Structure 1
Amino acid sequence: MQLHTTTWGTGDRVALLIHGIMADHRTWRRVGPALAERGYRVVAVDLRGHGATGPADRYRPEDYADDVVETLPKGADLAIGHSLGGLTLAGAVARLAPKRAVFSDPAWHLATAEEGFDPELFVGFKSATAEQVRTLNPRWEEADVAVELETLKLWDPNTAYGLTEFAGADLMPQKPEVPSLVTLADPSFLISPERAALLRERGFEVRTVAGAGHTIHRDDFDGFMSALDDWI
């Protein structure tokens, strides 16, 4: 599936951005321009079921990965995936072959239903109010609250039901296909300290952004960019 893309900058280096569930390219509203200022041409996708790409008939991890491989340029200098985008990038990274990859609080392990995972919680958030978004994300700028409300309007809630197919599965990569950084929220509800230690053993660099929530780049933009200092 060919995905909608948005581009910032005209630099010689190329960076790819892949958002998480319920979002679209607008989640990167500060990251994209910041990377462009550093000499990148930045390409961000809207995954299937999100943004201007629109809905699809199924939402499996391999579908998301196949889409970005079909859409994005190979051999980029940098690729960043957040949450579902981190899962997507992991499935696509060998074929995309970026020089470096960053996985931001990646969705490599979702709780089972018995552990509390409920897709209806995602679906119910489609009708969230601005006050609910602010309450859940007290460190966000007002612009991010507005973006969240707009992206929720375009988001297909069937993507949440697609998560049930891999809830409880261990989706952590066995090894980094390219030099790879994992940035974690503090705490991360997706990557436990034990899993973070295992990632380090497998060859990933792991950094925690102190005090940041799951969407690190919106919760603490400066902390997120600082964590990338020697990767960009």
Structure 2
Amino acid sequence: MRLNTHTWGDGDRLALLIHGAMADHRTWRRVGPALAAKGYRVIGVDLRGHGASAHTDSYTPAEFADDVVETLPTGADLAIGHSLGGLTLSLAAERLAPGRAVYSDPAWNLGALDSGFDPQMFVEFKKATREQIEGLNPRWEQEDVEIELKTLSAWDERSALGLADAGGGDLLPAAPVVPSLVQIADPSFLITPDIAAELERRGFEVRTVKGAGHTIHRDDFDGFMASLDGWV
């Protein structure tokens, strides 16, 4: 499936941004321009069932990955994926062949959730109110709250059900196919200390953004960008 995209900048280098579940390219409202200011042309994608991309009856990790491969150019200098976008990027990385990959609190092991993974909790979040979003994300700027309400409205909540197949399994990549950074929240409910240590053993660089929540680039934009030092 060809996906909707949004571009920031017109630099000589190319960066790709892949958002997480329930979001779309608008989640990168500060990251896209910041990378553009560093000389990148930045392409943000809307995954199937998100943003302005088409809704469908099937949502699996493999299909998310196939879509970004069909839509995005190969050989970008940099690719960043957050949460579901991190999982999607890892499944597409060999085919996309970016120069460097950054996995921001990636959803590689949903079974790490203490309460067990239940896609229905994502489905229910479709109805989240402004007050609930603000309460869960006290460090977000008001513009991010507004964007969250808009992206939830555009999101096909059925897409969460496709993650059920990933919920009980270990989808950690066996090894990085390109130089790869794993950026984790503090604490991360997806990347436990044991998983972080295992990723380092497998050849990933791991950096923690102290005090940041799961959506690191919204919770602590400055910390997010600082943790990319040497990678952008």
TM-score range, shorter chain: over 0.9
What is residue 13 of structure 1 aligned with on the other side? Answer: 13
SS in 2 for 1:51: coil
What is residue 35 of structure 2 aligned with on the other side? Answer: 35
What is residue 79 of structure 1 aligned with on the other side? Answer: 79
What is residue 168 of structure 2 aligned with on the other side? Answer: 168
**Residue 88 (structure 2) pairs with residue 88 (structure 1):** yes
Equivalent pair of 2:83/2:104 in contact (CA under 8 Å): yes
Residue 214 of structure 2 aligns with an amino acid whose one-letter code is H
How far apart in 2 are the matches of 1:6 and 1:112? 32
The root-mean-square deviation of aligned C-alpha atoms, in Å, is 1.2
Residue 147 of structure 2 aligns with an amino acid whose one-letter code is V
What is residue 23 of structure 1 aligned with on the other side? Answer: 23
How far apart in 1 are the matches of 2:175 and 2:106? 15
SS in 1 for 2:91: helix
Equivalent pair of 1:48/1:56 in contact (CA under 8 Å): yes
CA 9–112 in structure 1, closer or farther in 2 if over 3 Å, else same: closer
CA 112–162 in structure 1, closer or farther in 2 if over 3 Å, else same: farther
Query: What fraction of aligned residue pairs are identical, expressed as a percent?
Result: 69
- Matched pairs, number: 232
How far apart in 2 are the matches of 1:117 and 1:194? 18
Question: In the TM superposition, what is the alpha-carbon distance from 1:116 to its structure 2 partner?
Answer: 2.7
Query: What are the Cα deviations for residues 150-205 of structure 1, in whole angstroms up to 9, with x where unaligned?
Result: 00001001111111111110000000000000000001111110010010011100
Question: In the TM superposition, what is the alpha-carbon distance from 1:123 to its structure 2 partner?
Answer: 1.1
Equivalent pair of 1:54/1:154 in contact (CA under 8 Å): no
CA 226–77 in structure 1, closer or farther in 2 if over 3 Å, else same: same
Residue 182 of structure 1 aligns with an amino acid whose one-letter code is V
Residue segments in structure 1 that go unaligned for 5+ positions in a row: none
What is residue 221 of structure 1 aligned with on the other side? Answer: 221
Equivalent pair of 1:69/1:95 in contact (CA under 8 Å): yes
Residue 18 of structure 1 aligns with an amino acid whose one-letter code is I
Residue segments in structure 2 that go unaligned for 5+ positions in a row: none
CA 114–210 in structure 1, closer or farther in 2 if over 3 Å, else same: closer
What is residue 207 of structure 1 aligned with on the other side? Answer: 207
What is residue 136 of structure 2 aligned with on the other side? Answer: 136
